[in-house]
Structure 1
């Protein structure tokens, strides 16, 4: 632990952080802010009013709203009701038109910080806020990028032009099981599930700008750890000539902290307390994705016929237009009885750490995937889009700690997958590999471990500005 003089010295340095306004991006940014605060830095969080979080949970931070009015009147809350595509459009518009407003705000903060004898030493932004690089450059302020996905995902994103030239985004009638020649971990169907139509697709252009401006930044912070993606780290070092700091998993530094935008139902834990060890399937598809009604029915039928206990997070609106449970099959709740427990939201980290939890059926957002790895919990993977199918393939085919439901939502396959991770003989092999990964996480965070040392390097790096 640093001595008081070192902490006092750092506390006179302020770091400004700017997350993307989505649960999966807000969480790791606030976790990173907590980590840096514990190392003595003062913290300012910039935020939009879309998906605003409980700032009262962080009295030790300063919060400032930004980009709530802009030249194109981009209202993210209005776009949110129209779907993911419109939200992406909003992010792209703010990247295109937000620089002037953002520069004025940051310039005022820099002037004020000098008068307060607490200089702002760097800006840390979500990688998708790529416009902030030019703003930081104009103010001679170092910008560090936080990338909230896996390294493997970023390498695939960097390969989008090559994949497009080779025709992988248009192979609708080709063999979906075929392996991708340049990235043999992936199948053709994984590329299609990214929902990118080629390098001229708006989402692909956003990713290309993200990569370009990341390479122009001072460094990258990753919510991952070296032992999880060692070969991917070597490739990142080849492609990015800036420092990479793998200091994750972030949430392990402060396991009790939460920046959830939804209120968890504590009955989850009470119910788990009455279940046998490693017996429960925990099901949660994150805070944003939506199921089709038919898919929900397949999930329910698969759970019913598996005969295994389950804790199911069903957000209101999980199926578009639904209130909550009204779309479940008739008789489903009576059939499963006490074997099943359904909540609107759960304290996920606690659930995964609970001894009763035997497997996690997930959409494979990176935060959820990491949380499962940290607790040694095997996964069932049902990704939706973007980086999720890439994470799912990596978990199932590279690390072999997951069963991938890669052919959609079919009740027979769902039942089979549940039994594979909870009942059948192969569950022990999957569980053992998951336990080994958990141990690697713990070692990486100990003094002398890879994440511990990388965090020390990051603190020194920021302090040197």
Structure 2
């Protein structure tokens, strides 16, 4: 009789926002490569394309979102809606999957699914949590109850530049903040996530331990569960696209025609929105810098407009081929391109770690959440970028681009990012911190 060897099964519950889908699927690919069978549980809202991942099993659950809830600009309210509406569907799904795979190794959930801790316990399956921020932002999030008690989260603007005693390097204006109409809604999210993390069987980070060793120590004190820093995720495996938007690949051919390190790449992420006046200030700042630029303007970025129809007549022609505007770009390939010399970014952690990995210095325009923490570390701690801290004006944009791309200060910033790039490469080699942490993660999952 032939005994068929079966791969240990992991259920992965992805969170349906672009900045979360990318690391979720990168982690899934890492674990698949190491011999696990992956079953992806996902919502109907922002459902991933299974054809991009034929090696995974996909299971969809109804999320019950109405059209208005799904398009709610208040992202925190959207997160709460998803958490309340997915309790029963996720429970039903898990029950069915466990009847088919009773020996499944564990469930890995995105940290934003804070409702899952009680359910997985009920079904007797270990639950690990993927946290998609870095350790510096994670520590800042973990102290929110202290920050709230001390009144830091509701300080007046005049106190924005004061230091935060509990968080060296940060100022009051850098504290994690969410775009929501109700501040209590943000508190509820943080409380739910922190409780869920503390009751988990371990936390997985797309982070490099060697870059944030002190923050790892602090996090382990606050969350006494195993931590696994195995980033940068995207450098472990060849990429499959988890993009919800169609990537405009023509920008790579355009980059091919540009000079070495000459292009400033501009992308403000998949969620943040800006008003028309900010959009126009960025446009003129880029134009006046006289530097080639590749600018991602996703539909919905500019409040109240479809796309770039409010650019002044003749603006595109005035660029004389020096600028290219696309709706979405293959960011990892763009950052790795020889022509890309700088990145004007919202400072989400995916973008930040991808830029570090390619040695591309940054200009920071953070909006909310961990982006503010990342921006402060980029500009003041790691000193690998510039920080746009004032209102967005064309003169400031032009000055920042010229400084980063053309000045001796920009040259020094470029030199400082190179050792970080080297660290992010070496950590994946045998004996490196991420290599070793991945080995520990696999052993941990197999021990359940």
Q: CA deviation at 1:201?
A: 1.4
The equivalent of 1:380 in structure 2 is 363
Give the TM-score of the pair, scaled to structure 1.
0.92
The equivalent of 1:63 in structure 2 is 58
The equivalent of 2:101 in structure 1 is 113
Matched, 1:101 2:111: no
Instruction: Find the aligned partners of 2:299 and 2:312 in 1 and give their Cα distance.
Output: 16
Q: CA deviation at 1:192?
A: 7.5
Instruction: Find the aligned partners of 2:403 and 2:345 in 1 and give their Cα distance.
Output: 15
Matched, 1:315 2:298: yes
Residue deviations 1:24-66 (CA, integer Å, cap 9, x gap): 1111111111110001111100000111121111111111112
Residues 11, 287 of structure 1: alpha-carbon distance in 2 compared, 3 angstrom cutoff? farther
Give the TM-score of the pair, scaled to structure 2.
0.95
Instruction: Find the aligned partners of 1:430 and 1:241 in 2 and give their Cα distance.
Output: 36
From 348, 354, 371, the counterpart of 2:331: 348
5+ residue gaps, structure 1: 1-7, 70-74
Matched, 1:236 2:219: yes
The equivalent of 1:447 in structure 2 is 430
Instruction: Find the aligned partners of 1:140 and 1:19 in 2 and give their Cα distance.
Output: 20
Residue deviations 1:119-169 (CA, integer Å, cap 9, x gap): 211000011111111111111100000001111112111211221222222
SS in 2 for 1:43: strand
Residue deviations 1:402-457 (CA, integer Å, cap 9, x gap): 10101131111111111111011111211111111111111001111100111011
Q: Number of paired residues?
A: 446
Map 1:267-306; keep pairs closer than 5 Å. 267-306=250-289
SS in 2 for 1:120: coil
The equivalent of 2:74 in structure 1 is 84
Matched, 1:412 2:395: yes
Please tell me whether the aligned partners of residues 76 and 90 of structure 1 are also in contact (alpha carbons under 8 angstroms): no
Q: CA deviation at 1:294?
A: 0.3
Please tell me whether the aligned partners of residues 10 and 463 of structure 1 are also in contact (alpha carbons under 8 angstroms): no
Q: CA deviation at 1:322?
A: 1.9
SS in 2 for 1:360: strand
Please tell me whether the aligned partners of residues 53 and 240 of structure 2 are also in contact (alpha carbons under 8 angstroms): no
Q: CA deviation at 1:289?
A: 1.6
- CA RMSD across the alignment: 1.9
Residues 155, 360 of structure 1: alpha-carbon distance in 2 compared, 3 angstrom cutoff? same
SS in 2 for 1:125: strand
After TM superposition, the runs of 4+ consecutive aligned structure 1 residues lying more than 4 A away are: 8-11, 192-198
The equivalent of 1:3 in structure 2 is none
Please tell me whether the aligned partners of residues 232 and 353 of structure 2 are also in contact (alpha carbons under 8 angstroms): yes
SS in 2 for 1:337: coil
Instruction: Find the aligned partners of 1:384 and 1:9 in 2 and give their Cα distance.
Output: 52
The equivalent of 2:20 in structure 1 is 25
The equivalent of 2:166 in structure 1 is 182
Please tell me whether the aligned partners of residues 10 and 41 of structure 1 are also in contact (alpha carbons under 8 angstroms): no
Instruction: Find the aligned partners of 2:238 and 2:279 in 1 and give their Cα distance.
Output: 31
Q: CA deviation at 1:194?
A: 4.5
Residue deviations 1:306-365 (CA, integer Å, cap 9, x gap): 111101111123212322221113332122221111111111111100111000001111
Please tell me whether the aligned partners of residues 128 and 207 of structure 1 are also in contact (alpha carbons under 8 angstroms): no
SS in 1 for 2:217: helix
The equivalent of 1:4 in structure 2 is none
Q: CA deviation at 1:240?
A: 1.2
Please tell me whether the aligned partners of residues 63 and 85 of structure 2 are also in contact (alpha carbons under 8 angstroms): no
Instruction: Find the aligned partners of 1:216 and 1:332 in 2 and give their Cα distance.
Output: 54
From 367, 377, 401, the counterpart of 2:350: 367
5+ residue gaps, structure 2: none
Instruction: Find the aligned partners of 1:184 and 1:298 in 2 and give their Cα distance.
Output: 33
SS in 1 for 2:417: helix
Instruction: Find the aligned partners of 1:9 and 1:303 in 2 and give their Cα distance.
Output: 60
